[in-house]
A and B are shown apart, each in its own frame.
Chain A
């Protein structure tokens, strides 16, 4: 069984490396600033102690005031997992850095989030709609779509 790492302990280990980029950490998840998201996930992937070599999923949640992105990372080597969250504000064109260069599997999922939630990923190689067609108005999974 995959062990879910305590995000509080991970945050304590990350704090010296990434000062002031971790907003909040509790038992389940780590809330980080979106500016330092790429470096932080890159660090978690390459450090042997964590070795998160597999991205389980990316999800987005619409809280009306902000969008929250949830990254589920897993390590095949150590058989542990971690949840990382980040927030982006504004409903016009919210943007977060893309992690496709770290995990190839993020490609399709980031496109899906762009399609249904309207969050742009900076640095994505192919940022366009995936399920809906070109010319579709709006992003249907947003709370204010209807």
Chain B
């Protein structure tokens, strides 16, 4: 039977190629500088307020105990991550046995592998689709700086050109123990996070104390 292939695609594929090329060139032009790591709030002094810190502690306990991972395994570090997922190293001990195929249900992106400029818009899209709060672990030399492919024509020199990175785990690839250590560091980082809007709440509490 003859299959009618006219109108199979709305756009001709040459048009799609052109648009894809434009998107990549635009992203490449805009991401020559690395995004600073989101760690300024770590230096701030913890407020000695019992109510706020307790609420924060409960929220942070919930968040750090179940960081679900979104799928982002462009290269070989993915195998080491799979090994860390498996029964021998078993990162489900840290509450993250669930891999989410949908970024909307994920909190944590473990970037296991080399990122090419052609893949970069898609990684950025996955990151943008993740719900706040979200964290990123750059796993392996390629994710940190581009690794041995750094000076290549097609490789992004580090994920921090595309998305902000919280924790860097070096290695080529890192051992599962290294990855687990990185995850624990991220959990410590999450534990220091202030979740409630500080200024507004402080005012409210002061007013409440005044009567």
Contact = CB atoms under 8 A, between A and B. Distances in A.
A133 B14 contact: no
Interface in B1-54: 14, 17-18, 20-22, 24-25
A136 interface: yes
Interface string A62-87: 00000000000000000000000000
A135 interface: yes
Contacts of B20: 133-134
Most buried by B among A129, A134, A135: A134
Interface residues of A, number: 10
Nearest to A132: B154
**Contact residues of B: prevailing secondary structure:** helix
A140 interface: yes
Interface in A130-144: 131-136, 140
A61 to B, nearest CB: 19
Nearest to B14: A128
A140 B14 CA distance: 22
Contacts of A140: 153-154
Interface in A104-146: 128-129, 131-136, 140, 145
A128 B18 CA distance: 11
B153 A133 contact: no
A80 B22 CA distance: 46
B22 A135 contact: yes
Interface of A: 128-129, 131-136, 140, 145
Given A129-B17, A140-B153, 8 more contacts: A128-B17, A131-B154, A133-B20, A133-B25, A134-B18, A134-B21, A135-B22, A145-B153
Q: Which 6 pairs from chain A and chain B are nearest by CB? A: A134-B21, A135-B21, A133-B21, A134-B17, A133-B24, A140-B153
15 contacts: A128-B14, A128-B17, A129-B17, A131-B118, A131-B154, A133-B17, A133-B21, A133-B25, A134-B17, A134-B18, A134-B20, A134-B21, A136-B21, A140-B153, A145-B153
